[in-house]
Structure 1
Amino acid sequence: NGAEILETRAGVQTLADKYIVVMNDGMSDKDFDSHRSWVNRTHRRRLIRRGAKAMGGMKYTYNFPTGLKGYSGHFDEQMIKEISKRADVKYIERDARVQINAIEQQDNVPSWGLARVGSQEPGGTTYYYDSTAGEGTTAYIIDTGTDIQHEEFDGGRATWGENFVDDMDMDCNGHGTHVSGTVGGRTFGVAKKSNIVAVKVLDCNGSGSNSGVIMGMQWATEDAQSKGADTSVVNMSHRVAFSQTSNDAAKAIAEGGVLLALSSGQDNVDVAEASPASELSICTFAASTEQDGKADFSNFGQVVDVYAAVDGITSDKPGGGSQVQSGTSKASP
């Protein structure tokens, strides 16, 4: 019968002629290599002999330590039909647009989020935390990049990891630096002595692809496991409509012993319609108000694990200094 080409859900902004292919569970590395060689040969033949529309072919290869195997690329419809006939393919999904969650920004507004983390009741003005302050732990920020030279990271706690969206190893948007500062900045961070690793998957406009994000997830997982999964956390503060591949990648991170913290999204819908926030094995954060109510824009539902402060959160900005941002992106860090 062949592999299923998953139906695209409402609200998903797909990328033309771009697909993610996921292999059957338990596939060996040898068989995976053989399959990809077949894809490359078949794709080249189609371009040369059949006059097929020029496509880029395979781009990213996924091979998570805990078993998820697959790849993404630029293929025409006929090539996807050929791939779907293979008995070793589990499913195929259209690649989709991914976008950051921040919804507004204003300057010079005091932050209340840290005080809320350190208080049992709303209205607190002091942040209480353990003196270790996250020292020895590492947070992988899968986002728009991070200004690793920012003074809030004490000249070395923030490092550059990998880039899966462009050729600029910098945060030209500001979202990722703000998230990183909320996690580990000296002044605004929850874990003020933690290490930050920048994994860039979103461009200057805060936009990227699901396939690129999944590649960032794999890189972070492998790096975390090489350094000690039990002292690592992966943060993702962006949104994509439901994607089975994204959920499977998130599950692979959790099965590898790494905590994945994810914002729920801000479409005011059940989080079951968002990815990978709907994956049960990760920690999903929704947005709360200063009075501990649900923020009116926040996603919700039984899958949500924690509600956290998101409105008027002060943190770092590229080039130095600070700025205020709001949105569910601020909940998970």
Structure 2
Amino acid sequence: MLTFLLFIILFFFNPATILGQAEIPPESIIIKFKDGTVEAAKQKVFSQTQTTRTGFVSSININTATFTGDLNETVNTLNSYSEVEYAEPDYIRTLSFTPNDPQYGSQYFLKLIKADKAWDLTHGSSTVYVADVDTGISPNHPDLIGKIAKTKNYSTDEIMNDFKCPHGTAVAGVFGAATNNSVGVASVGFDTQIIAAKLQNVVTPQGCGVATSALSAAIHWVVDNGASVINLSIGGYKPSQTEQEAVDYATNKGTLVVAAAGNENTDKITYPANYTDVLSVAATDKSDGRAGFSNYGSWVDIAAPGVDILTTFYDYSMPQGKKNTYISADGTSLSSPIVAGVATLVKAKNPNLTNTQISNILCQTADKIGGTGEYWRCGRVNAYAAVLAAGGGGEPTPNPTPTSTPSATDLIVKIRFQGIDVAANSQLIILNIYQNGAQKITVTQETSSNSDGTYDVRLTNPQDTLIPGTVAIKIKGPSHLRRSVTSIIYTGPGTTIDLTQNENQILLAGDTTNDNKITIEDLSNISRYYTDFSVAVDNNDTSMKSADITKNGFITIQDLALASINWSDLAIKGDE
């Protein structure tokens, strides 16, 4: 039996059909025992919890097991054992890919993202590897022959082809098809080489899936085999510790992970796209608008074309000799490899860049199309601008200066909210900047938190309205009082103003009614929802969301305590 499965959205040959990321019940559990646990102790745990071990992934030291009874109860029971480091379902991730036309089509997206101009600066490099961790790949496709450097088969199938769940070959063609070879299509990555890891294809009535356990093991393998970039065109709505640890392993080894945001037209967060250090990708259409099926929100980093993307395809329904073909398709599964392909061009242009620097360059050079700041954070990827930022025009520069954060034209204001000291949900922050007694900048920005709970408000081209010198800043966030900070030194574009270190600059918690004061009404608002130790927030209830002071998605005693501590009079007001 398979463990926590990653559900993959398979395409249908119906142009109007776009599947969402439906939940598929996990069939197995991942169990990670603490180091030093002897086999007899493990068997005792299996026996007492009525679980049966079905596999052991030695590269990441996890066991997979089937279960009887209720999944959540079994997981909770397993986590109560002292021998268990953690247990979790082996989730199913969806494939974010929906073909809409099996005929030849135009590769408009290459010109839209200016890949053709980027190729004037670099053709990529055969020493830069991009990983296709997916349902398999057709090694005999005429546009992929000679482009696949290494393969590993994690499935029980004898061949690498994605014949059960045709998806991986289409994804690989976007970033890695042979280019300028007088055959078929071109790829964004041009000369980049592919490392392919085929995961077990799990076919269900809802679609295809792959197991979290196998995905995590495959991430380790492609990293250990030299992948500079990993593309994950899969997703699901529940996070996995095993998966996050695999992503952390990749990041710490210098590999950039790129993942599709999903195809359900929702702002609901998906994984692996939302893990720390993963570059998440939404889909746009031919007119640079958000594709109607694409997921969106402040948690999404960047966008790329995802409609009518012509790519390689392995059609298992065709007779022998005609299975390797091409198809035009929709989906964030095809947007993600476009961004991954651009990342390989950047890496080829300047091999000294780190994964973080590449991610920053892709974000900072993206075109600020409509929807930027609402549907995604950075804009739509621009290959030419990204390659220029990596090392300038013309031939590669030996030692280019990488773009850093903030960029040369940005101002970042770093903010801390009382009660938030770990990664939290995004917030709608209002920030005003004053200089020489006049209000110069007003921005309302939905901003994601950093891993330490701080928030960065990024202002582009502040030199248009500010001059180096002293400024004053006013900040207001939901559930927190307004804070005014004076005598701040602005040194020009590229400045970071850090307001997180001084206690007098932290925004005080408790303003759930968003009227810039803490009253008994705020305490009543929280008490109304705090009916148990931890109550999940209904995101459709604006009042309930405001009562979540710590922005962790739950109403807890901490929310009530923070407001109570600050309410020491009839009404405590924030700064004007």
- Could you tell me which residue of structure 1 aligns to residue 324 of structure 2? 320
User: Any stretches of 5+ residues in structure 2 without a counterpart?
Assistant: 1-20, 179-184, 315-322, 338-576
CA–CA separation in structure 1 for the residues paired with 2:171 and 2:76: 41
> Do the aligned partners of 1:60 and 1:215 also contact (CA within 8 Å) in 2?
no
> Do the aligned partners of 1:142 and 1:199 also contact (CA within 8 Å) in 2?
yes
- Could you tell me which residue of structure 1 aligns to residue 296 of structure 2? 300
2:143 partner SS = helix
Give the CA deviation at 1:265: 0.8
Q: How many residues align?
A: 291
Cα distance 1:38–1:298, how it changes in 2: closer, same or farther (>3 A)? farther
Larger relative contact order (Cα-Cα within 8 Å, sequence gap ≥ 6): 1
Check if 1:85 corresponds to 2:77: no
> Do the aligned partners of 1:233 and 1:258 also contact (CA within 8 Å) in 2?
yes
Report % sequence identity: 20
Check if 1:165 corresponds to 2:155: yes
- Could you tell me which residue of structure 2 aligns to residue 113 of structure 1? 109
Q: Scaled by the length of structure 1, what TM-score is found? A: 0.77
Counterparts of residues 279-290 of structure 1 (less than 5 Å):
279-290=275-286
Q: Scaled by the length of structure 2, what TM-score is found? A: 0.46
Give the CA deviation at 1:244: 2.8
> Do the aligned partners of 2:202 and 2:210 also contact (CA within 8 Å) in 1?
no
Give the CA deviation at 1:60: 3.5
Cα distance 1:12–1:322, how it changes in 2: closer, same or farther (>3 A)? closer
Check if 1:15 corresponds to 2:26: yes
Which of 97, 102, 108 is 2:97 aligned to? 102
CA–CA separation in structure 1 for the residues paired with 2:216 and 2:107: 32
Task: Write out per-residue CA displacement over residues 43-82 of structure 1, whole angstroms, 9 at most, x where no aligned residue.
Answer: 67x3xxx8x96x6404142655xxxx54332244697566
> Do the aligned partners of 2:29 and 2:66 also contact (CA within 8 Å) in 1?
yes
- Could you tell me which residue of structure 2 aligns to residue 209 of structure 1? 211
User: Any stretches of 5+ residues in structure 1 without a counterpart?
Assistant: 1-9, 24-30, 120-125
Check if 1:174 corresponds to 2:166: yes
Which of 234, 256, 268 is 2:265 aligned to? 268
Task: Write out per-residue CA displacement over residues 5-31 of structure 1, whole angstroms, 9 at most, x where no aligned residue.
Answer: xxxxx9642223x112346xxxxxxx6
Give the CA deviation at 1:314: 0.6
Check if 1:72 corresponds to 2:64: yes
CA–CA separation in structure 2 for the residues paired with 1:291 and 1:307: 13
2:123 partner SS = coil
In structure 1, give the amino acid aligned to 2:329. Q
- Could you tell me which residue of structure 1 aligns to residue 190 of structure 2? 192
> Do the aligned partners of 1:148 and 1:159 also contact (CA within 8 Å) in 2?
no
> Do the aligned partners of 2:264 and 2:295 also contact (CA within 8 Å) in 1?
yes
Cα distance 1:320–1:244, how it changes in 2: closer, same or farther (>3 A)? closer
Cα distance 1:62–1:289, how it changes in 2: closer, same or farther (>3 A)? farther
CA–CA separation in structure 2 for the residues paired with 1:161 and 1:39: 36
Superposed CA RMSD in Å reads: 2.8
Check if 1:143 corresponds to 2:147: no
Check if 1:309 corresponds to 2:320: no
Task: Write out per-residue CA displacement over residues 135-180 of structure 1, whole angstroms, 9 at most, x where no aligned residue.
Answer: 3111110111111122213x33214522223323222133111111
CA–CA separation in structure 2 for the residues paired with 1:61 and 1:36: 17
